[in-house]
Amino acid sequence: MKLVLHVEPGIVRQPLVSSVILETGALVNIERAKVDAVSGEIVIDVSSDKCMEVKTAFEQRGVKVVLLEVPVIRDEMECIHCGACISICPTGTFRFEDFKVIEDAGKCVQCGACIEACPQRALRLILK
């Protein structure tokens, strides 16, 4: 399962990910990270059996955590199945199946590349 971690000023310089891994024993895959001196947003993938334990551990450290179940929303009325999202997506979230664009939300890391590439503006990210 994927989690989005929103790290606020004051705790961004702490070893949050490593301390949660050591505490929970969970295997954590960092799929996307944008961290600077004052804040950060990190998308991680954690096994389902450890997900809630990891979420709680981050929250106890002051990190806002969002479960990323549906990372990208497609407006079916606007989508023309052109495939622009397929060509730009770095994780292979989108593919053609029977001449229609199909998405595998489990692959999405919310980079936003598909949003920018879509000529119909049929895609949007779920931001919390």
Is the pLDDT at 128 greater than 60, yes or no? no
Tell me how far apart the 2 most distant CA atoms of the chain are, in Å.
50
In the chain, list all ranges with CATH 3.30.70.20: 72-125
Asked whether the beta carbons of 90 and 111 are under 8 A apart, the reply is yes
Q: Which two tokens stand for residue 53?
A: 């334990």
Q: Which two tokens stand for residue 54?
A: 């990891």
Which residues lie below 8 Å from residue 72, measured CB to CB, with a gap of 6+? Answer: 93, 103, 105, 108, 110, 114, 115, 123, 124, 125, 126
Is the pLDDT at 105 greater than 70, yes or no? yes
In this predicted model, what pLDDT tens digit does every residue of 13-30 receive, in sequence order?
889 999 999 999 999 999
Mean pLDDT (the chain, rounded): 90
Alpha carbon distance 14, 75 (integer Å): 39
CATH number of 2-67: 3.30.70.260
Total number of residues shown for the chain: 128
* Domain 72-125 in CATH 1.20.120.530: no
What's the pLDDT band for 106 if we cut at 50, 70, 90?
A: confident
In the chain, list all ranges with CATH 3.30.70.260: 2-67
Q: What is the pLDDT of residue 127?
A: 61
